[in-house]
Structure 1
Amino acid sequence: MHKMLKEKLWAYIVHNNPDLMFNLQEDYSVTHYLDEKVNGIMPMAERLLAERKPLYVIEELCVNEMTEELRPSRFLYLREMLEQEFPDDWQRLREDGLLTYEIINIMECCREIFESLTFSIENKDNRNIHHTIVGHVRKHLAKNMGTTVSKKDR
């Protein structure tokens, strides 16, 4: 159970929070982070096993609990926003193999905005947050990639 939960947690991080993945790898702390998270959830997993819950239910509940603080994914939010608002830049970055790298850079550039606007599951669809982030991304792309115009400005 422990190994399987570690694998599922790592897969979640790789797909939803590659910024965390890179930071953990850079600090050589992947194993420590995963073990800490899984060890913290094991009492819940053992309780659910004792209640004879199906394994797939236990896995889902445990992964959801371990990833709660990682949601919503700022990375996925920015990736979707880039694709919708800046499709030419998104396509160029994807083709050049730089999309993930540049989204992580944009995440850093927008960190204070996400935090000051308390970006969360409850407000991830807030139009004010969206417009504020789009404005910062537009500036970032113009500064780092040349002039960029959002889809809505065309």
Structure 2
Amino acid sequence: MEQLLKEKLWAYIIENNPELMFSLQEDYSVRKYLDDKVTALRSQFEQWKAEDLPPYIMEEQALQELTKDLRPSRFHYIRDILEIEFTTDYLRLKEAVVLTYEVVNLIETCKEAFEAIGFSEENKESRRLRYAIMGIIAQYLENK
């Protein structure tokens, strides 16, 4: 089950957190990251086994736990704002096949705003956060 969880976690990261994917690959630390995350759940696995939970439930709960600190996705948040509020730029970047690259750059550019306002599941719908990120994106695109 551990190998399956590592594969699913990696697939989640690729889809939702490409900035982390690039960072882990650059540092050659993908395996260590995945091993450490799954190993940290071993005692929880034992508890779930003792509770006689079915494997599919254990897998689902493990994935929820493994991705807890990766949610919500800053990548999807910024990409969605680009698509909705900056449609022309979004389409231009997508057509030039640099959308993912530019969104990853924007994640770093918006880092202070995300941290200052506190990006979380609870406030991802915050208008204050959205307008702050939109302002940063507009400035970033102006310089492109």
TM-score, length-normalised on structure 1? Answer: 0.90
Q: Deviations over 1:7-54 (max 9, x none)?
A: 111011110100000000000000000000000012212321232212
Amino acid at match of 2:124: K
Runs of 4+, deviation exceeding 6 Å = none
Alignment partner, residue 148 of structure 1: none
CA contact (8 A) 1:117 1:129 kept: yes
Question: Is structure 2 residue 66 aligned with structure 1 residue 61?
Answer: no
**Letter in structure 1 aligned against 2:69:** E
CA deviations 1:119-149 (Å, max 9, x no partner) are 11111000011011101100001111xxxxx
- Name 2:96's counterpart in structure 1: 96
CA-based RMSD of the aligned residues comes to 0.9
Describe how 1:1-154 pairs up with structure 2 within 5 A: 1-144=1-144
Gap regions ≥5 residues in structure 2: none
Quote the sequence identity (%).
Answer: 50
* 1:60 Cα deviation after fit: 1.2
Higher deviation after alignment, 65-74 or 14-23: 65-74
Alignment: residue pair count: 144
Q: Give me the whole-angstrom Cα distance separating, in 1, the residues matched to 2:129 and 2:60.
A: 30
Aligned-partner Cα distance in 1 for 2:90–2:111: 20
**What runs of 5+ residues in structure 1 fail to find an aligned partner?**
145-154
